Structure 1
Amino acid sequence: MNDNAQSAKPQWHHTLNWGLLYNKYFLTSNHQNLAQIGKETDTTRFFSLMCQGHLSTKQWNECKLLTVGTGADLIKIVRNTLQDDQHALSSVCQRYTHRQCEMVKRLKGADIQEQDAIKTVTCNWRFVNGLSLPHLLEVNLFWHPTLGIPYLPGSALKGILKSFLINTYPLNEAGKYDPDFITFMQRVFGSYEYPGKSDIDHQTENQAGDYIFFDALPTQKMTFVTDIMTPHFGNWYQDGATNAGQLNTTPNDWHDPVPIPFLALENFELQLAVLPRPGSTEKTPAGELAFITDMLCSALSYQGAGAKSAVGYGYFEASPT
């Protein structure tokens, strides 16, 4: 390809919104009955192959686009993206994480070390988040609303760390937390009801925490894989509480298991970023930020994040600095 042709190559693939593609435009190899597309078992696998660029020319030519809006040329755009640039998604992730690092550098101040504010964690196996969100497949994957990549919201990281600290810090002999621990939690997370607080503590006015938890963004192209969950007692899960005692809502072996395919992620690496909130009233104690980010990495390692952590999903290990 000559220089002129290279310079004329469109640059839309650098900012392709994969989340929009997944949630608003849906590729399928079964175009016989679009009304039933959400019931097809091969749709998730098809999207997985699409994201990895493993579709043959014949499969590309046969696939159709189910859309809730306009976009007749979108399938051609996606196809050309995957054929011309297999690292498009990796490029997008690297651009966003670099921008986040630059923002952290501008906000952190001279007395904060960058290695204390930014950490990288790698998923041990698989990760999935947002299964309960509405989608054509009845299961979903949580995408960033504007960046269009899988991620962990900063609010989720804040909640994960808070629950980890509360569950691991011991109560004293009186069944209460030490005052220093309560002060630390209120400074980091803002107003919160802790076990063992006195009536005077409840009169404290609401306040924001002194730290910002940024969204955790993937640092590289991840691998989309198809997994299957097979609930054996679907009727009992859905109607057992309201129709107890009925034959079809009783959990027994005569119910037919229903395999449900869903998208999951492998080779998933996240960048974590935490900073003192600009304008906070108190100066950050020495070493506190490093402690917070280290504890956040420990929480993701021991407690996990996302869905299906009970079966091994969503556990991360901190990458060497």
Structure 2
Amino acid sequence: MMMPLYVEASTVLNAKDSNKGLWFEKFCNQWEIHEKYAYWTLEKKKQAWMQSVSNSKIGDAHQLNCAVKRMEKLIQFRSGKLYYMKTISRFVPGMGRSNPVDNGLTWHHTLGVPYLPGSSVKGILRSWATSYDTMVTSTQINDIFGPIPEKSNSSVGSVVFFDALPVAPVQLEIDIMTPHHPEYYKDPKKGKPVDWESPNPIPFLTVAEGQTFVFGVAPRCSGNEGDQKAVQMVTEWLPQALDWIGAGAKTAWGYGRFASDSKQG
């Protein structure tokens, strides 16, 4: 059967050193036509497709090392602070992204590995400062992270938040969620959850435990004393926030927790 993927792309993206993020998000090669409704679907092939990227480390070690070194030098030049944090549970960034397997993953466009965007790091730390640090004021929070966009024309804070990148090729794992009342969850107004509904196993990709990422923050103006103090506050929050509230999706189930990696620091 003809697949919605041209041959040249399939050959290149299936190579060992290919960008798996591009392959995973744009070039699925196991589509089938649904027998009844005539649309492209993976049906029960989802787990098999994901298994092809979870059997080995993802990413090029040399490219990752170069990217991390550039990031380290930039942050040091800007008088910022680096943190090396290791996943102590599974980690799922960008689960809500559109994807052939229904549950997405945030992939770095050029490195082809899962990562945590700087905007997400900023959001996590703002949430921690707002909800857990009773000593910080709302004025300080707005100064550090920028005022809430709806309440101000400016959203620039005194601290720059960098993307959190893996320092080495990443090990991925498959997990499965199993909603026991799929029809009820689709539309609770149609009825109550009942025992005769069939469970619906849904596989999804995760970053495995034990993967090290480098986090970085820097003052917006390296010569500004106030910005330097803001960075100091943020670096005190960062390991606590990643340990206690975590990052990415499913944090309420224990996903996305990090601890300091003493071997890298």
* Counterpart contact for 1:127–1:268, Cα < 8 Å: no
Q: Displacement of 1:122 after TM fit?
A: 0.6
CA distance in 2, matches of 1:287, 1:14: 45
| Secondary structure of the structure 2 residue equivalent to 1:127 | coil
Residues 52/102 of structure 1: CA separation in 2 closer, same or farther (3 Å cut): farther
* Counterpart contact for 1:44–1:263, Cα < 8 Å: no
| Secondary structure of the structure 2 residue equivalent to 1:272 | strand
Counterpart of 2:99 in structure 1 is: 135
Residues 95/45 of structure 1: CA separation in 2 closer, same or farther (3 Å cut): farther
Structure 2: where are the runs of 5+ without partners? 1-14
* Counterpart contact for 1:27–1:47, Cα < 8 Å: no
CA distance in 2, matches of 1:87, 1:263: 12
Give the counterpart letter for 2:141 in structure 1.
M
Pairing partner for 1:251 from 170, 176, 193 = 193
Q: Displacement of 1:217 after TM fit?
A: 0.7
- 1:257-280 deviation per Cα after TM superposition (whole angstroms, max 9, x unaligned): 100111111132211010011389
Aligned: 1:272 with 2:236: no
Q: Percent identity at matched positions?
A: 29
Once the two structures are superposed, the pairs formed by residues 1-321 of structure 1 within 5 Å of their partners are 16-28=18-30, 37-41=41-45, 43-50=46-53, 52-53=55-56, 89-106=60-77, 108=78, 112=79, 117-170=81-134, 181-192=137-148, 206=154, 208-240=156-188, 244=189, 246=190, 249-266=191-208, 267-278=210-221, 282-284=224-226, 287-320=229-262, 321=265
Q: Displacement of 1:254 after TM fit?
A: 1.7
Q: Displacement of 1:169 after TM fit?
A: 2.9
| Secondary structure of the structure 1 residue equivalent to 2:104 | coil
Moved over 6 A (4+): none
* Counterpart contact for 1:214–1:273, Cα < 8 Å: yes
CA distance in 1, matches of 2:70, 2:29: 31
TM-score by length of 1: 0.67
Q: Displacement of 1:318 after TM fit?
A: 1.6
Superposition CA RMSD, Å: 2.9
The alignment covers a number of residue pairs equal to 243
| Secondary structure of the structure 2 residue equivalent to 1:188 | helix
Q: Displacement of 1:184 after TM fit?
A: 1.8
Residues 283/207 of structure 1: CA separation in 2 closer, same or farther (3 Å cut): farther
CA distance in 1, matches of 2:51, 2:257: 22
Q: Displacement of 1:187 after TM fit?
A: 1.7
CA distance in 2, matches of 1:277, 1:286: 9
TM-score by length of 2: 0.80
| Secondary structure of the structure 2 residue equivalent to 1:232 | coil
* Counterpart contact for 1:45–1:225, Cα < 8 Å: no
| Secondary structure of the structure 2 residue equivalent to 1:126 | coil
Structure 1: where are the runs of 5+ without partners? 1-12, 54-85, 171-177, 194-201
* Bigger radius of gyration among the two: 1
CA distance in 1, matches of 2:55, 2:221: 41
* Counterpart contact for 1:128–1:314, Cα < 8 Å: yes
